Amino acid sequence: MARTTSPAEELLYNPCEAEIISVADLTPDEKLFSLRMTDNRPLGHLPGQFVQLSIPGYTEAPISVASSPTRTGFFDLAIRRAGTLTAEMHRKVPGDTVGIRGPFGSSFDLTAFQGKDLLLISGGCGLAPLRSLIQYCQDCRDEFARVAVIYGARNPDALLFKNDLAEWRNSPAFDCSVTVDNVSGGDCFYGSVGLLPALIPPLEVIPKNTIAVVVGPPPMYRAVIEELKKKGMASSRILLSLERQMRCGVGKCGHCTIEHLYCCTDGPVFRLDQVEGVRGAI
Ligand SMILES: Cc1cc2nc3c(=O)[nH]c(=O)nc-3n(C[C@H](O)[C@H](O)[C@H](O)COP(=O)(O)OP(=O)(O)OC[C@H]3O[C@@H](n4cnc5c(N)ncnc54)[C@H](O)[C@@H]3O)c2cc1C
Ligand code: FES
């Protein structure tokens, strides 16, 4: 029978086996999985990219890589229990195997970041893809000027990566601010209380030397972008990571399109000026 895909294409379509090395609870709904490819090859990702995670009988889903390529021998996935596949993933234990395709999608342009002030802003689950970039900044600190990490969640229980946040807050390498929308009586919390966009006005921003990266839920994008614009930031200096429902992950099925853009191959990382005129993008 005639071959319909080349060997290179098959690498895009066929999941490779990865072993779960460790599992840790992040919140009641999110777990952090460390994995390694069972053939020991590096995943080969860049910050901002995603993989297609699969479990036989439980379909496939795009998941951002949550660790930096500078941390070798493993890669991290932070997974929220949302539906069929992710619920099954939450039942997995170290030693179990899963399928991985990718890495796929656009990444943060680390060359363009060199020598710049970075504003790394995330809300909720958005810290997962951003953690890859933050760890990269930690490991290659000399490549960048000032680095500010700004993170917001609904409440203290919903904060992802609490250990990392504590480390970043205590690190001289970063300026790290954390806020939650609200706290209740018994909560022990060290950050500020209020909506994330309120952390932007007090920042000292030099628009011509700053790149802002924003990852989070859609309502957060609008408010954060408005505050960044008030600081004089041009759209070409604001990067976003957009999530859409995906199937193939490689630009073939059309499930992830936003007008002419394919979220899986043109994105998930976009410059704001690429998407601000595109209906339904933000
Ligand atoms: C580029 C990218 C990166 C992602 N990174 C992560 C990550 O790091 N961690 C993580 O937990 N999840 C991530 N997701 C979301 C994850 O892929 C979906 O939640 C996925 O549907 C889960 O599969 P499931 O079979 O468990 O849930 P499903 O059974 O598919 O459904 C769960 C529910 O979520 C809805 N849904 C499905 N996909 C999306 C989507 N993209 N956006 C909004 N709602 C959706 C469905 O309509 C349904 O209501 C990412 C998505 C994209 C596109
Ligand atoms: S997910 Fe199939 S084209 Fe993007």
How close is the Cα of 55 to the center of ligand 2, in Å? 19
116 and 236 share a domain?
yes
Taking the CA of residue 129 as reference, the ligand 1 atom at the shortest distance is 8
pLDDT for 173: 87
In a domain, 260, yes or no: no
pLDDT for 184: 82
Pocket of ligand 2 (CB under 6 A): 246-249, 251-256, 262, 264
Whichever domain contains 53, its CATH number is 2.40.30.10
Which residues are 121's β-sheet partners? 150, 214
pLDDT for 11: 67
Q: Are 136 and 162 in contact (CB under 8 A)?
A: no
Mutate to test the pocket of ligand 2, among 253, 258, 266 (most ligand atoms within 8 A of CB): 253
pLDDT for 190: 78
Q: In the predicted model, is pLDDT for residue 94 greater than 80?
A: yes
Domains of the chain: total = 2
Nearest-CA residue for atom 4 of ligand 1: 63
Q: In the predicted model, is pLDDT for residue 3 greater than 60?
A: no
Q: What is the pLDDT of residues 211-256, one digit of tens each?
A: 999 999 888 899 999 999 999 999 999 999 998 889 999 999 999 9
Q: Mean pLDDT across the stretch 55-80? A: 96
In a domain, 264, yes or no: no
143 and 220 share a domain?
yes
DSSP secondary-structure letter at 15?
P
Taking the CA of residue 262 as reference, the ligand 2 atom at the shortest distance is 4
Q: Domain range holding 181?
A: 110-241
In a domain, 120, yes or no: yes
125 and 203 share a domain?
yes
CB atoms < 10 A from the CB of 55, how many? Answer: 20
Q: H or E element: which one contains 63?
A: strand 60-64
197 and 219 share a domain?
yes
Higher pLDDT, 282 or 158: 158
User: What gap in Å lies between CA 241 and CA 214, rounded to an integer?
Assistant: 7
Q: Mean pLDDT across the stretch 2-7? A: 58
Nearest ligand to the CA atom of 50: 1
Q: What is the pLDDT of residues 113-145, one digit of tens each?
A: 999 999 999 999 999 999 999 999 999 999 999
Q: Please give the model's pTM, rounded to 2 decimal places.
A: 0.93
How close is the Cα of 146 to the center of ligand 1, in Å? 33
Q: Is 163 helix (H, G, I), strand (E, B) or coil?
A: helix
Least confident interval from 1-5, 92-96, 99-103, 177-181: 1-5
Taking the CA of residue 128 as reference, the ligand 1 atom at the shortest distance is 8
Those residues with Cβ within 8 angstroms of residue 64's Cβ, 6 or more apart along the chain or in another chain: 48, 49, 50, 77, 78, 128, 129, 132, 241, 268
Nearest ligand to the CA atom of 264: 2
Q: Are 282 and 121 in contact (CB under 8 A)?
A: no
